[in-house]
Structure 1
Amino acid sequence: MKTVKGPGIFLAQFLGDKAPFNNLRSLCLWAESLGFKGVQIPTWDSRCIDLQQAAESKTYADEVRGIVEECGLVITELSTHLQGQLVAVHPAYNELFDGFAPEALRGNPAARTEWAVQQLKYGAQASRNLGLTAHPTFSGALIWHTFHPWPQRPAGLVDEAFTELAKRWRPILDYFDEHGVDLCYEIHPGEDLFDGITYEMFLEKVNNHPRACLLYDPSHFVLQQLDYVQYIDFYHERIKAFHVKDAEFNATGKQGTFGGYQSWLNRAGRYRSPGDGQVDFKKIFSKLAEYDFDGWAVMEWECCIKHPEDGAREGAKFIQDHIIRVTDKAFDDFAGVETDKGLLRRIIGLDK
């Protein structure tokens, strides 16, 4: 068994215009002061990293890594969540997702997709230059708007959508394979890969590609009422990244999983800071240790109530307290006896 690494923190939700949240160095110093040991870096914000430069220049990548290490931390992963989303966008969402792309590409879906694909390739190169082996992202979505279909979906629609999704991602997965990096899809509502079944459908379309891996985030499964512990039993071999994010689901006589178009504060299902929700992290950390998860426990702050700085401070300790230092011996070793084949055969009654 292996001990989960951590605590780490995803920097995306903490970036801002004021110190210490306005550049990579000050963010890392702040994170280290709270007890974090690693940072997951969003690649769409130049205050953290220039993704293209990190891909094309090993010298620059070493400089970025040096900044982080001088602050007493390591880089856990790079993230391309926003760029991955743009690999597949249904036209109904074009204007909403245009904000994820450079201004010059807005209103041009084909150019936006081309840019996103190149960004993912930069992500593979940059990860390799930084010595990283896992890379979180989103799958994007072509058919999410039909997840609760009315009118009914025409026969063959789902298969056609996943065929196209796989067609777009297969070359990217091959590129990640060339660079020795696992691409970790965060299974998430709004993406076409939003639960175990959709992930399996995608895997089939990409011929069980070895780099089509997973970022495990139990909060999304609480909101879907999916068994997030058994999920680990099913997919542990593919889980290469882990977000520690809490959630709660409190159904009422007025709303349930769909949330009634309410704000996050007023939804039945809502995200919370670690320890404030309903996720059983003791079971999760035990499962991950049992299955030799060799990655990082990275806090992602998304809470509709608690201040992010308080969530971060509490989150570092929360993760540290849940990491299990795995044992290197069995508890009953003290009662063991020396053995040989003769003893074994006598015990089972084969030799006298």
Structure 2
Amino acid sequence: MRTMKGPGIFLAQFIGDTAPFNSLEAICKWAKAIGFEGVQIPTTDSRFIDLQQAAESKTYADEIKGIVNEAGLQITELSTHLQGQLVAVHPTYDKLFDGFAPEAYRNNPQARTEWAVQQLKYAAKASQNLGLNASATFSGALLWPMVYPWPQRPAGLVETGFKELANRWLPILNAYDEEGVDLCYEIHPGEDLHDGISYEMFLKEVNNHPRACLLYDPSHFVLQCLDYLAYIDHYHERIKMFHVKDAEFNPTGKQGVYGGYQGWVDRAGRFRSLGDGQVDFKAVFSKLTAYDFAGWAVMEWECALKHPEDGAREGAEFIKNHIIHVTDKAFDDFAASGTDEALNRTLLGI
């Protein structure tokens, strides 16, 4: 076993236009001051990282790494959630997801997808240049509008969707393999990879690709009423990243999983700041530690009620208090009688 790294913070929900949230240097100093040891960097804002340049220039990558290190932090991973979303978009969502792409690729789904694929490949090389071994993304979705079918899905529709999803991702996964980087899908409602079964369907179509790994975030499983602890037992060998995010699910006689089209505050299921929700993080950290999780514990802040800066400050301390400093000896070592093969054989009667 090993002691988990952390606490880290995912910067996506904190980036803004005012200091200290409008530059990499300033936001890193802020994160360090409130107790974080690492930052997970989104890759769609060039103020924080130019993804193509980081892929094509080791010198530039070293400069980015230097800014983070100078603040006393490490880069935990890069995130391509928004670009990954655009690898596979059902036409229903074309207009909504166009906003994730530069203007030059909007209203042109094929060009937008090609841009997204190239972005993922840049992230593979950029991760390698930065000395990282894992990267986060979304799978995108071709099938999500059919997740709860009415009318019923035509026979073979799901199989066709997953084959196409795999065809789009296999070249990307191969690029990550060439760079020695695990690509970790955040299993998330709205994505075709939204639970264990859908992940297994995808894994089958990509021939159990060794780089098709997982970002574990229990909050999404609370909202799906999925056993988030058993999930670790099933998939711990593939879990290479960890988002520490809390959530609660409080169904009523009027609404449940789907939330009745309500805003976040009024949904039965909603995300909360760390410690304010229902996730049993003592059990989560214990399981991941027992399975020798080698990555970072990274806070992702999303809360319908609490101010983000309060959530960040409290979250850093929360993660520190949950990381298990692993023991280097067994608790009953004091009673050990040493190693004696002859005695062992005598005790066994052999």
Does the TM-score normalized on the shorter chain lie above 0.5? yes
Residue type matched to 1:147 in 2? V
Corresponding position of 1:94: 94
The residue type paired with residue 213 of structure 1 is C
Q: Secondary structure at the match of 1:188?
A: coil
> Which residue number in structure 1 is paired with residue 221 of structure 2?
221
**Deviations 1:137-180, CA, capped at 9 Å, x for gaps:** 00000000000000001111100000000000001000100000
Can you list the C-alpha shifts for 1:190-230, whole angstroms capped at 9, x where unaligned?
A: 00000000000000000000000000000000000000001
Cα deviation digits, residues 285-342 of structure 1 (max 9, x gap): 0001000000000000100000000000000000000000000100000100122221
The answer for the alignment partner of 2:271 in structure 1 is 271
SS of 2:123's equivalent in the other structure is helix
1:329 partner SS = coil
Structure-1 separation of matches of 2:208 and 2:303 = 35
- Say whether 1:26 aligns with 2:39: no
Alignment partner, residue 304 of structure 1: 304
Amino acid of the structure 2 residue aligned with 1:117? V
- Residue 345 of structure 1 aligns to a residue whose secondary structure is helix
Q: How far has the Cα of 1:47 moved from its partner?
A: 1.6
- Matched letter for residue 169 of structure 2: W
Equivalent residue, structure 2, for 1:295: 295
Match of 2:321 in 1: 321
Q: Distance in 1 between matches of 2:315 and 2:345?
A: 53
Equivalent residue, structure 2, for 1:282 = 282
| RMSD across aligned positions (CA) | 0.4
Q: Separation in 1 of the partners of 2:347 and 2:231?
A: 40
Partner residue, 1:210: 210
Whether 1:116 aligns to 2:116 is yes
SS of the residue corresponding to residue 13 of structure 1 reads coil
Please say if 1:163 is aligned against 2:163. yes
Which residue number in structure 2 is paired with residue 75 of structure 1? 75
3-state SS of paired residue (1:166): helix
In the aligned structure 1, how far is the partner of 2:338 from the partner of 2:194?
52
1:82-140 Cα offsets, whole Å, 9 max, x none, are: 00000000000000000000011110000000000000000000000000000000000
2:136 alignment partner in structure 1: 136
Q: Aligned equivalents of 1:21 and 1:152: distance in 2?
A: 47
Partner Cα distance (2:339, 2:310) in 1: 55
Aligned to 2:345: 345
Aligned partner of 2:51 in structure 1 is 51
SS at 2:13's partner residue? helix
1:254 alignment counterpart: 254
Distance in 2, Cα, partners of 1:284 & 1:135: 21
Q: Secondary structure at the match of 1:221?
A: helix
Letter in 2 for 1:171: P
Does residue 66 in structure 1 map to residue 80 in structure 2? no
- Give me the whole-angstrom Cα distance separating, in 2, the residues matched to 1:308 and 1:231: 29
State the number of aligned residues.
350
**Matches of 1:339 and 1:42 in 2, distance apart?**
52
> What amino acid does structure 2 have at the position aligned with 1:123?
A
In 2, distance between residues paired with 1:179 and 1:158? 31
Shift of 1:349: 1.4
Q: What are structure 2's unaligned runs of at least 5 residues?
A: none
- SS state of the match for residue 207, structure 1? coil
- Hey, what's the Cα distance between the residues in 2 that align with 1:124 and 1:173? 9
**CA offset digits 1:20-54 (Å, max 9, x no partner):** 00000000000000000000000001121000000
Deviation at 1:276, TM superposition (A): 0.4
What secondary structure does 1:75 align onto? strand
1:242 maps to which residue? 242
The residue type equivalent to 2:105 in the other structure is L
In structure 2, distance between residues paired with 1:278 and 1:104? 43
Q: CA–CA distance in 2 between the matches of 1:225 and 1:3?
A: 29
1:9 maps to which residue? 9
C-alpha separation in 1, matches of 2:339 and 2:212 = 45
Q: Distance in 2 between matches of 1:240 and 1:341?
A: 40
Could you tell me how far apart the structure 2 residues matched to 1:95 and 1:146 are?
Answer: 19
TM-superposed deviation, 1:245: 0.4
User: Is 1:192 equivalent to 2:192 in the alignment?
Assistant: yes
Distance 1:111 1:164 in 2: 17
Q: Name the CA distance, whole Å, in 2 between partners of 1:304 and 1:270.
A: 7
Matched to 1:204, the amino acid is K
Q: Please, which runs of 5 or more residues in structure 1 have no aligned partner?
A: none
Displacement over 3 Å in runs of 4+: none
Task: Determine the structure 2 residue equivalent to 1:232.
Answer: 232
> What CA distance in whole angstroms lies between the structure 2 residues aligned with 1:252 and 1:63?
52
Whole-angstrom distance in 2 between the partners of 1:108 and 1:36: 40
Q: Tell me the equivalent position of 2:145.
A: 145
Letter matched to residue 4 of structure 2? V
Aligned-partner Cα distance in 1 for 2:339–2:77: 46
Identity %: 76
Q: Which amino acid aligns with 1:136?
A: A
SS of 1:14's partner is: coil
